[in-house]
Amino acid sequence: MAIQQECARRIRRLQTELEKRDLDGALFAYPIDIYYFSGTRPNALLWIPTAGDPVLLVRKSLSRALAESAVADVRTFPPSRELPSVLGAARRVGLTFDVLPVQQLHFLNKVLPGCDFVDISALNRELRSIKSAWEMEKMKESAARLCAVFARIPEFLRPDMRELDLSAEIEYRARKQGCEGYVRLRAFNQELFRGIAASGESAARSGFFDGPATGSGLSSAAAHGASTAPIARNAPILVDYTGVFEGYIVDMTRMFVFGELHPEMRKAFDVALEIQDYLTENLRPGQDCAELFAGAVALAEAAGLGNHFMGAPGEQAKFVGHGVGLELDELPILAQGFQVPLQLGQTVAVEPKFAFPGKGVIGIENTFAVGPEGGTRLTRLADDLIQI
């Protein structure tokens, strides 16, 4: 019953916004959007009219969709010629252009020639960014389970073990906790396998991933995450992992070292904590995301670490925090140029980090909920640098 009420609330919010935009409805093809509004994840199309009841058109699996769907009207996907009858008199229809392949758009233009398709990507992402009390409980549970895994890392972290072995130990325990592992990313050409366990030079190796740390990975075809390199003494060990439980993602990073960090690295860690404190205090409704990023950059520059902030010099990520929920890259983004105010109930992974080519990556990351007095931390595990 809870998921049915939750999805009904989401659908009503969407319908209100569609009406404001003079749209007749929205058609969703992207699986996680369908899940958000229907509570099930089939291969399907979901039609949500501005007025009236939604219809879920399922290619596979119809039986599972019938059992799980919070949408009452679940049907077998019809022949193409019958699709117009589902939409009825609808003419202005919203689509999520940010994730819809051109081939699928051509298909819809062909089978629904009377429809004018309008991009509702921004609307959809904004609606999804604001978490309900029901969703917040899911994210708190995800955070608790991920923290339980991180808390055990000192039990199995050993000198000279390979990055790959460390990652396998973390992933094994996360899986035993119920981690689903589907780290969904909306951005084109981005992909991620669970997270990063990397140290020293290997952690600081740049790659395709749009973040401050990539890791060397296992090959050029999988250029992200742990490598087979051994973990060296006195090198920063970065453990940056997602937890995905019942679809909801949280993100966190903790630092470890065998021995002592170089003073430059220790300073960078302390500055990362200072930046996190500044952002936490300002994760309040109405605060401008671009201004928060600029404030974080100013703190890094004041410490003499601006060239290393959020990536290797010349290859720095232009954000310091990203929305999380059913996807890892939701709104809001604490980023350069993202001049958008925060809203109550948004959830943000704050990750101030510093990259030193040839030496390592160091920083911190926690997931927060935007609140009236600042950010409420969901990943409630001490930030301490763990020396072993």
Structure tokens belonging to residue 262: 């170089």
Q: Which helix (H) or strand (E) holds 165?
A: helix 163-176
Q: Flag whether pLDDT at 1 surpasses 80.
A: no
pLDDT on residue 256: 98
Structure tokens belonging to residue 277: 């404190």
Across the chain, the runs of DSSP E, i.e. the strands, are: 25-28, 43-49, 55-60, 73-76, 92-95, 116-119, 195-199, 237-245, 248-257, 319-323, 330-335, 347-350, 353-356, 360-363, 366-369, 376-377, 386-387
Residue 230 backbone dihedrals phi, psi, to 5 degrees:
-75, 150
pLDDT on residue 160: 87
Whole-structure pTM value: 0.96
Task: Give one DSSP letter per residue of 265-280, joined into a string.
Answer: HHHHHHHHHHHHHHHH
Determine the Cα–Cα distance for residues 284 and 147; give it in Å rounded to an integer. Answer: 24
Digit-coded pLDDT (tens) for 49-108: 999 999 999 999 999 999 999 999 999 999 999 999 999 999 999 999 999 999 999 999
Mean pLDDT over each residue of the chain, to the nearest integer: 97
CATH topology for the 2-128 domain? Creatine Amidinohydrolase; Chain A, domain 1 (3.40.350)
List alpha helices for 199-288, DSSP H.
Answer: 200-203, 263-282
Q: Which of 28, 92, 79, 84 is nearest to 54 (CA)?
A: 28
Strand partners, 346: 130
**C-alpha radius of gyration, the chain, whole number:** 22
The segment(s) of the chain belonging to CATH 3.90.230.10 are 130-387
Q: Which helix (H) or strand (E) holds 147?
A: helix 133-151
The one-letter amino acid code at 88 reads: G
The segment(s) of the chain belonging to CATH 3.40.350.10 are 2-128
CATH superfamily of 130-387: Creatinase/methionine aminopeptidase superfamily (3.90.230.10)
Residue 89 burial (C-beta neighbours within 10 Å; 0-12, 13-18, 19+)? exposed
